[in-house]
């Protein structure tokens, strides 16, 4: 039990929670921006703020990608090594993560990881 304390630690749980919230917000923005917002209403910004807008978008994309990657790798490690569910569910979790990437990582965090982390804190 000592060797897997780091993945069930409170700091790691907080980090995974933050990453999953960022991932869900990014997925919502993608759905709204790409599928629901009409392209005809988009306008280019004024030229004096283009550089600041570019830097802001670049930084936000970098933060979002880093948090999604961290959550994805963390939940893959959790599913492959530390998950206490039956082997069939672990294999399905890994396959689901490989197919759907960050969305599956959020689901696994909310439905599998948190319950096992809270049970680990009680012991």
Q: Report helix, strand or coil for 40.
A: helix
pTM of the model: 0.73
Could you read off the pLDDT of 68-104 as tens digits, one per residue?
888 888 888 888 888 888 989 888 888 888 888 788 8
Residue 57 binned pLDDT confidence (cut-offs 50, 70, 90): confident
Could you read off the pLDDT of 24-37 as tens digits, one per residue?
888 887 777 666 65
Residue 9 binned pLDDT confidence (cut-offs 50, 70, 90): confident
Torsional sign, CA 1, 5, 110, 82: negative
């Amino acid at each position: 039990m000592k060797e897997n304390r780091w993945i069930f630690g409170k700091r790691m749980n907080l980090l995974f929670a933050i990453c999953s919230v960022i991932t869900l917000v990014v997925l919502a923005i993608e759905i709204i921006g790409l599928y629901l917002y009409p392209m005809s209403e988009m306008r280019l910004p004024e030229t004096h703020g283009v550089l600041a807008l570019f830097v802001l978008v670049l930084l936000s994309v970098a933060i979002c990608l880093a948090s999604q990657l961290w959550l994805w790798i963390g939940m893959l490690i959790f599913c492959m090594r530390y998950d206490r569910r039956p082997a069939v569910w672990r294999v399905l979790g890994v396959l689901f993560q490989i197919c759907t990437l960050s969305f599956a990582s959020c689901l696994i965090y909310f439905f599998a990881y948190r319950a096992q982390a809270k049970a680990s804190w009680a012991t």
